[in-house]
Amino acid sequence: MSTSLIVLAAGQGTRMNSDRPKVLHELGGVPLFAHALGAGRALEPERVVLVTGHGSAAVAKAARALDPEIEVVVQEEQLGTAHAVAQARDALDGADGDAVVLYGDTPFISGETLGAMQAARATGADIVVLGFEAADPGRYGRLVVEGGQLHRIVEFKDASATERAIALCNSGVVAADSALLFDLIDAVGNDNAAGEYYLTDIVEVARGRGLSAVVVTCDEAETLGINTRAELAAAEAQFQAMKRAEAVANGVTLVAPETVFFAFDTWIGRDALIEPNVVFGPGVTVESGARIRAFSHLEGAHGSRDAVVGPYARLRPGAELAEGAKVGNFVEIKNAEIAPGAKVNHLTYIGDAFVGAE
């Protein structure tokens, strides 16, 4: 069964207190929405549609830099999540299979979780909703489940006291047959406290037609949404903790893990050693046995096996260190290749160049 992704990225994010669209604020060195796209790639989607709104031109530019094949559509008026998803209809015209709705400001949904939703669809559920047990349900929408079936999703503003006592909450992520999804959206109204067209209402519409809906759950941490700069800072801390733990589990030595900062796509080989106060920007690969010494900054660079960088070195985009190459303190390399065993020991700038082998 083929799958398409619909990523909602239209919100202004007024609580960010920023002129920049919320989804362009960075987490792990890339725009927030890139994390949703990355998780969605686990489903090997046939088509990917990004629904933009506020700052649509800037968001579209950033999206196409990440994925030239992405389809970008605009939600001119923000009339609710169902209305936002409906903007993807033309872009998915003729698409077979499922559509999965993700959110550009919810960066931690994992590929494994999306795989579990896909598996639930394969067992025959017409609609699959991602839920989580909230420690403090607060203002989340509640999932009303009876006999293993999801009967409806109630937004907090519209929930009764009994419904507000439910701890099973809605993440917003939904999977359904693409044609069915848009058909259900057509039946959604806006008779609610906010006067919006809620995507959540498709569950009640589907149940009224005798269709099935089920809930797949994930850890609450996966559902963290970003609405303020404080939440963005907390998300960055969570992201860095995850990346550090992943690196150590993969055989990388971090001398002082809490001082090393990773990007979304950082890749480090086993038995590499990273000293304190190292920052990896996007596009860095470090092979096995390499050593990145203290207070170094790398971006768009590659360090081969047994290469040594730093301390106090900067590798800029296009820097390529061959096996055993060494870059010392206060050295900056940009768009240059350092051949096997070559040494650039200190106080040097090398750009657009080739340094031969030892």
Catalytic positions are 346
Q: What whole-number distance in Å separates Cα of residue 195 and Cα of residue 72?
A: 26
Q: What whole-number distance in Å separates Cα of residue 215 and Cα of residue 228?
A: 28
**Three-state SS for 35?**
helix
Which residues, 6+ apart, have CB-to-CB distance to 96 below 8 Å?
2, 178
Which residues, 6+ apart, have CB-to-CB distance to 58 below 8 Å?
20, 21, 24
Q: How, if at all, do strands 127-133 and 71-74 pair?
A: unpaired
- Select from 273, 342, 286 the least CA-distant residue to 315: 286
Residue 175 and residue 40 in contact, taking contact as beta carbons nearer than 8 Å = no
Q: What whole-number distance in Å separates Cα of residue 114 and Cα of residue 102?
A: 10
Cis peptide before 21 (omega within 30 of 0): no
Residue 133 and residue 185 in contact, taking contact as beta carbons nearer than 8 Å = no
Residue 44 and residue 52 in contact, taking contact as beta carbons nearer than 8 Å = no
Q: What are phi and psi of 266, to 5 degrees?
A: -60, 135
